[in-house]
A and B are shown apart, each in its own frame.
Chain A
Amino acid sequence: MQKDCTITGKIWLIIDHQNTLINDIDTDMIFHNQYLAITDIDKMGQYTFDNLEGWKDFVSKAEKGDIVIVGKNFGAGSSRQQAVDCFASLGIQAILAESFGAIYKRNAINSGMPILTITDIDLSELSQKEKITIDLEKGTVSNQYINIQPFSKVQFDIYKAGNLFTFGKKIIEK
């Protein structure tokens, strides 16, 4: 599977009442444990953010191809893959965060969901649903008010291969 190294889409700035990016969004806010028996990815999208104050209607607003922008320590908490897969289920193209929970980061990388770490962002210059283009390999964004780190090597290798399993076939053969 050959994948694009650039992504273009509308942004959702996941902000609170003070207009700052929400920090510490944990996996129960992203995909609550009451839905954990769901194993079919097509059924996961509908529950995304349904326990996140102010964003419970995210699913009705988001569209395929959108990009989600969040604060620090995104995806803290449990190891559930559903908290990544629910975004894939909605067709979200990428997640940008000021930092990620360690397990969440791995889960996203392994499933080929592009996640990128923000080094600098100026929210006062950005508006909801603005369109941006991201170069994953170079780590550049078309909008100068968002700066990100490029993919790491292993992240890029897995992304290009599709996911950890397709990438890992080489490892198994070794």
Chain B
Amino acid sequence: MGTEAKEPLQLKSDVLIIGGGPAGTWAAITAAEQGASTILVDKGYCGTSGATAPSGTAIWYVNPEEQARERAMMSRMDMGGNLAERPWMLRVLDRTYQNMHQIRDWGYPFPIDQTGGPSYISVQGPEYMRLMRKRVQKAGVRILDHSPALELLADSHGVAGAVGMNEQTQQPWRIDAAAVVIATGGCAFLSKALGTNVLTGDGYLMAGEAGAEFSGMEFSTAYAIVPYFSSVTKTALFQYATFYYEDGRVIEGAGSRRGRSIIAKTLLKEPVYACLDLADESLQISMRKAQPNFFLSFDRMKINPFKEKFPVAMRYEGTVRGTGGINIIDETCATKVPGLYAAGDAATRELICGGFTGGGSHNAAWAMSSGYWSGEGAAQFALKQGANRFRRNARGLAELSGVPTQAASSTNRINTEEVVQLVQNEVFPCDRNWFRSEQGLTDSLGRLNQLWYEIKQGVRTVEGSRLGVREVAAMTATARWMYESGLARRETRGMHVRTDYPQRDTAQHYRLLSGGLDQIWVKPNAAPYNSNIEEAAKA
């Protein structure tokens, strides 16, 4: 494809945002409002990329009344293994409240609920993200679509921009920036969970190369219930489902929330069917209005999901609906690397979710809140730097890590399809990833570590794509951070299930940090000071 034929596009900006989903767009708007020149790059198209754009998403929006907030904060505290932190939850509830009203003022058409006022507890992704793109442009931010970042630039003072490639024109780009926000989402390992195939952990890899730390990577066992054929991962609607064996008997205890593991265990042995037969007719209409493409899929397949039983499957959602991610060290969502910030699913969401998330609601609130703070923080950091901030002679970090940024030409090298298959073999099966054990994790890590070294020797890609190399390296690294963290947590807490340690252990009431590329390390972080006092006291 003659990737070297084109002159690189060279740009400078105070702030570079990598990723154009909710977190990245909020970050871009906020950075620009601070007076920072800002560029946003998206691997796909800002407005359609990522897990939020294709469908309806609940929002963790709670009126600022003490009792309502208290209920909202405590409702999932224990489910999350008491690892969430109250001050962060309150901050996110406040910020989300403000941001949702901001979206209303920008013209988002919120529905009117039974009280006669607007309902702020959900958004329709296509509408929300189309609006966010418009606002990013209106804020004066330059957007580069189809322009994945391949590696960060840095000097001895910290991160200084990124280089990447326009996938459609094959033109390389280099952006020198005084601060960078990673808003690349989580990693769902190309499972086709709705909108997630752009989410391959690219930002984790870049942050890892820069020396950033991760937190909670063991909380990465989210699986969605889907109709067997479908990409539309809307597990919440299965609250209204009954689950059946092939012979029509009801599977006792199976459900979309606490009973999801029963479905997974049954699926390991035999097919499982569902029917949304708990929804009455008026609710059926509401469900259709809440999630148009979930029902579009059934209609096109000529299945009546309220009357007919249909086979279901589990589609892996990885860290997109897990809670682990890049560790942030302060209220501006800074990482430990100067100039590097993280927001949305790329960052850890344990601060508000602990070790469990039910999906959209909290993650969506976190995305818009952390996006806002990271944009503000990155802009303030950038504007404090002197006039020489773009003359830093920064270099690409992949050169130091040894993870390739070019496709290998030798036919002896492994190719991207092979790597994807090998990584998926380790992370997709429920009996390996969801129901974890020391033996299973150790076996997987042996193979994944071997694969990591093979990747470093070079990877062949379709049409010589440079992005493909980075994506498979990122997925492999992510799986290794997940499983090393999972191995270190010798208990069952939040969504992390250890079959060999089925109980919660109060002595392990802490978060787990991790990092490193060739040698991965994991270590306990201090117990969160403000969650469940009782468990903290016992620990």
A and B bound?
no
- Using CB atoms and an 8 Å cutoff, list the residues of chain B in contact with chain A: none
Partner-B contacts on A (CB < 8 A): none
